[in-house]
Structure 1
Amino acid sequence: MSLKHGLLGLLNYGSMTGYELDKAFKASLSFFWQAKTSQVYRELDAMERRGWLTSERIMQTEKPNKRVYTITDSGKEELACWLSLPEADIADAMRVKSAFLIRVFFAGETNIEQSLDMLRAYRDKCLESRKSLRAAHTASEEYGAVVGDKRKAAFWELSILYGEAFYDASLDWAEKAITILEDRGL
């Protein structure tokens, strides 16, 4: 996935402000793709220059002015084209690229307490991230109600299910790794 396709996908459900898009992205897609707010706005500007979306400035008196973005037919074509690409990214989904795992691999070069601290911190982050997926369920329900399409919402839930399984497996691994190091008294 790329940020632009995630944003196009969200806009395909309806027009939104940049703030709403950023919030929706973080509530629904941030497990799979992280983006800073500044990146979201930069990408929106680039997509508007490509003709994939339009924006309208809304003047407000008691609040700051806002821009509302709407996907264009060209943007819908780009999204459909990206969604219909061959399964090349399935192989990418099976690859692990993790600086953390490289650190684990070479952790024998450090003392045991440092390694255990690293593993415990990883476990704690996994627990925190697993809990954050509860918010994704809520967001999925809310956006599903707005979009009014149970079929689309079911696919959102499948993505959340993947995230839960990922964190469950990561937590299981972290617990086993900690136990191995503690039991072996290295």
Structure 2
Amino acid sequence: MAKDRKIDMVILGLLSHEDMTGYDIKKHIDGAINFFWKGSFGSIYPALSAMENEGQISKYKAEDSGAREKIFYHITDNGTDSLKAWLNEEQAVNDMKYETLLKLYFGGAGDRQMSLHNIEIFESKIRSDLELLKMYKGNLEKDTSNEDHMYFLLTVMFGIETYEAYLKWCGKAKKMLKNG
């Protein structure tokens, strides 16, 4: 892929299921996708504009959207081809960025209580997210006849196993910091 705007692929992937507004796209990104990909309105709308100019998507106004005009986006054949080409690429960047680990790495400049507190905050967030992932898993397992659900379920299962490993690490790390 010539350009490296992965937000385009997120948008094309979402639009491959249904037409959406920019707001709908943001809502979907903030939902289940949020566990492994982030996107802001500041990245979504410029991407939508560029993708429309490139012929990957088209837009249209909702016929009866009430007082506020709703603009929906639709994936074009060109967009579908781009999405499929990206899915077939063998190379994938899997960057991991955790500010908690960055703070812990430099924790020697502070004190153990600060590092312990940062781990506890991380642990609390992971526990909360893990419960949500388990709920998603239960819902997806109810309809295994839907092909898309299988792929959604695979990402949820990855998240569950990863977050369970994070919790295990949190326990060990807290024990090390408490025991010296």
Relative to the length of structure 2, the TM-score reads: 0.84
Give the residue type in structure 2 aligned to 1:82: W
Query: How do 1:1-186 and structure 2 match up within 5 A?
Result: 2-60=6-64, 62-86=66-90, 88-89=91-92, 92-93=93-94, 96-134=96-134, 136-137=136-137, 150-184=146-180
Q: Higher helix share goes to which structure?
A: 1
Greater relative contact order (CA < 8 Å, ≥ 6 in sequence): 1
Root mean square deviation of aligned Cα: 2.5
Identity %: 26
Q: CA deviation at 1:176?
A: 0.9
TM-score normalised by the chain length of structure 1:
0.82
C-alpha distance in 2, partners of 1:140/1:39? 29
Runs (5+) with no aligned partner, structure 1: none
Kept in 1, the 8 Å contact 2:8–2:51? The answer is yes
Structure 2 stretches lacking a partner, 5+ long: none
Residues 7-39 of structure 1 show CA distances to partners (whole Å, capped at 9, x for unaligned) of 101111122222222222222311111011332
Equivalenced residue count is 176
Q: 1:25 to 1:96 in 2, by over 3 A?
A: closer
**Residues in 2 aligned to 1:139 and 1:46: alpha-carbon distance in whole angstroms:** 35
Separation in 2, partners of 1:69, 1:48: 9
Amino acid at match of 2:57: L
Q: Could you report, residue by residue, the CA deviation over 1:50-92 in whole angstroms, capped at 9, with x for unpaired residues?
A: 1101000125463311011110000001001101111x21xx4
